[in-house]
Amino acid sequence: LIVHYPFLSRALSHAPPGCLRILDMHDRFAGRRQVLAAAGLAPEFFHTTEDEEAIALGRADLVLAIKREEAAAFRRAAQTPVVVLPHAEPRRDVPLAPGRGVLRFGLLGARNSVNRAATEAFLEALHARLRRTLLPCEIVLAGSICEEFPPARLPRYVRRLGRIEDVAEFYA
């Protein structure tokens, strides 16, 4: 039985005897409220305490983590074995888009306060650097995060794609 996220982990207690119970932790939620507050962001979605997250981890026979750092935190919180399984799109051969003589960066993200703040900070830092260096580059912004950045607010070197059908083509 595979359950995603700690707030659904109680479902693991309903697994029949002998069933392997896996908790897929896409993110670490313990301490998220404090991290967001320190960054000046209001808490959104789900956050919990270290003790409550440990209860969720303890319900599983195996925990999946995306990052080594998160896996280490899960191992400290509970005795449940943890493996790192990064999420990745399947490899596909897609022709590279023409470079047009510029360095291209891609940002793909969902619309939420953390991604908005991170994208804003990145664009501000990049803009300051580009004004000093005149580096020819293009930022390709994709996903629902584009809804947070109307074209009028963006420099001309930022291209918005919005929601995309195929991430492989975006990465190409």
Contacts of 161 (CB under 8 A, 6+ apart): 140, 141, 142, 146, 170
* pLDDT at residue 83 in the model: 95
Cβ–Cβ < 8 Å for 123, 158: yes
- Is 80 exceeded by the pLDDT of residue 30? no
pLDDT tens figures, 61-78: 999 999 999 999 999 999
The pLDDT score that the predictor gives to residue 100 is: 67
pLDDT of residue 157: 87
pLDDT of residue 132: 82
Give the pair of three-digit tokens for residue 128. Answer: 């300051």
Residue 160: the pLDDT is 93
- Determine the pLDDT at residue 2: 96
108/163 Cα distance (integer angstroms)? 9
12-22 pLDDT tens trace: 999 999 999 99
Give pLDDT tens digits for 77-130: 999 999 999 877 777 776 666 666 778 889 999 998 888 888 998 998 988 888
